[in-house]
């Protein structure tokens, strides 16, 4: 039990004595601190004492793409923590190659009586996908919220990072370093985030539309796109994800080029993988925590029927600003 108290105290950011008071139902602990301790117990997988157990306010489904890209587990962790603290039970569903589709996962969650669903980078972000699936879901009385991928065909809250601003930040940084031939490596053009990145790029580099390369949001995709851009003489590459940036660095090294002496590379996400990067990756940070919290709050207000009175735009897109994080993968343009 002592070990458990220590773990819970560390997770909640309080003393072991405080955890002990909460567990034993002693007074002298604020409601906020008590809630943090209970949430820490849930996160660590410890069973709550009977006095701290409460009936779940309901199940909330969370549907994400595969978890190979660390940005998706990062979103899942934030969303699950916020839901747990609000008394809801999160149900994480991930899509894997050959596994269940988004539609199948959605149907499973609805059959189990979920109170709401959070979609992260789902089919709502694919401009070629039929959005009628979401119209039907709303017609079944299931509230939901979408992260990263806006469409005006669906009446629901949307939470997105400003992809256009992200690319502008990256390009401005590279221009300041003296780079003139800057390429953009992004995912398939049917996805809304990729489209917005291209829009942001062509806005600041109107004469460089031939320096946009579409590929997959993967290491291999980044490598393929970077090879094409290096063939066109680019000295700097802005990537649509950190995984793509790792692929771009690999492409440069296969050509015996040094990053950043010969080629500068900028990623996107600032995902947990960054700590393993060599060189440390300059990237555009998504405000994952703020976006995850906003998504949950919007969903819970939708569930409570208060979203329309809380926001002037009932089903608008809430856009969050990215941040440029400069590290070691960008440098001055080579002579």
pLDDT tens for each residue of 113-157:
899 999 999 999 999 999 999 999 988 889 999 999 999 999 899
242: Cβ contacts below 8 Å, ≥ 6 apart: 70, 71, 267, 268, 269, 270, 271, 273, 274, 277, 281, 283
Domain that holds residue 107: 59-161+287-320
pLDDT at 50: 72
237 and 178 part of one domain: yes
Average pLDDT of the chain? 91
Residue 327 lies in a domain: no
- Banded pLDDT at 49 (limits 50, 70, 90): confident
48 and 66 part of one domain: no
Residue 334 lies in a domain: no
How far apart, in Å, are the Cα atoms of 140 and each of 107, 114, 133, 188?
11, 12, 11, 32
199 and 276 part of one domain: yes
Length of the chain: 335
High-pLDDT (> 90) share of the chain, %? 68
161: Cβ contacts below 8 Å, ≥ 6 apart: 148, 286, 287, 291, 319, 320, 321, 322
Rounded CA separation 101/97 (Å): 9
205 and 141 part of one domain: no
What CATH number is attached to the domain comprising 44?
A: 1.10.260.40
Average pLDDT rounded to a whole number, residues 82-111: 91
pLDDT at 81: 92
70 and 151 part of one domain: yes
Higher pLDDT pick, 261 / 310: 261
154 and 173 part of one domain: no
123 and 144 part of one domain: yes
33 and 169 part of one domain: no
What CATH number is attached to the domain comprising 149?
A: 3.40.50.2300
High-pLDDT (> 70) share of the chain, %? 94
- Per the structure, the count of domains in the chain is 3
Q: Examine the pLDDT at 308 and tell me if it is beyond 60.
A: no
39-43, 72-76, 152-156, 309-313: least confidently modelled range: 309-313
28-42, 225-239, 250-264, 292-306: least confidently modelled range: 28-42
């Amino acid at each position: 039990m002592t070990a458990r108290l220590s773990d819970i105290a560390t997770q909640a950011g309080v003393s072991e004595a405080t955890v002990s008071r909460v567990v034993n139902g002693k007074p002298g602990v604020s409601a906020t601190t008590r809630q943090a301790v209970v949430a820490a117990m849930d996160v660590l997988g410890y069973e709550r004492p009977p006095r701290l157990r409460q009936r779940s306010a309901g199940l909330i489904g969370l549907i994400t793409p595969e978890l190979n890209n660390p940005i998706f587990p990062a979103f899942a962790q934030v969303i699950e923590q916020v839901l747990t603290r609000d008394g809801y039970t999160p149900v994480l569903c991930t899509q894997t190659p050959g596994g269940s589709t988004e539609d199948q996962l959605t149907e499973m969650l609805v059959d189990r009586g979920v109170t709401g669903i959070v979609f992260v980078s789902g089919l709502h972000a694919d401009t070629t996908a039929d959005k009628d699936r979401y119209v039907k879901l709303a017609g079944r009385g299931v509230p939901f919220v979408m992260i990263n991928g806006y469409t005006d065909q669906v009446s629901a809250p949307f939470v997105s990072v400003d992809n256009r601003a992200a690319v502008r930040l990256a390009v401005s940084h590279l221009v300041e370093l003296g780079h003139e031939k800057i390429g953009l490596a992004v995912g398939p053009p049917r996805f809304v985030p990729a489209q917005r990145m291209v829009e942001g790029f062509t806005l600041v580099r109107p004469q460089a539309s031939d320096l946009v390369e579409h590929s997959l949001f993967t290491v291999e995709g980044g490598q393929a796109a970077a090879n094409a851009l290096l063939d066109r003489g680019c000295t700097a590459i802005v990537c649509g994800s950190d995984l793509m940036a790792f692929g771009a660095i690999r492409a440069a090294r296969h050509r015996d080029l040094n990053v950043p002496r010969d080629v500068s590379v900028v990623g996107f996400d600032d995902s947990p993988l960054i700590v393993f990067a060599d060189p440390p990756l300059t990237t555009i940070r998504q405000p994952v925590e703020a976006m995850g919290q906003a998504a949950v709050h919007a969903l819970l207000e939708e569930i409570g029927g208060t979203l329309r009175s809380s926001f002037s735009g009932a089903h608008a897109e809430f856009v969050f600003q990215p941040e440029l994080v400069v590290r070691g993968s960008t440098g001055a343009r080579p002579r």
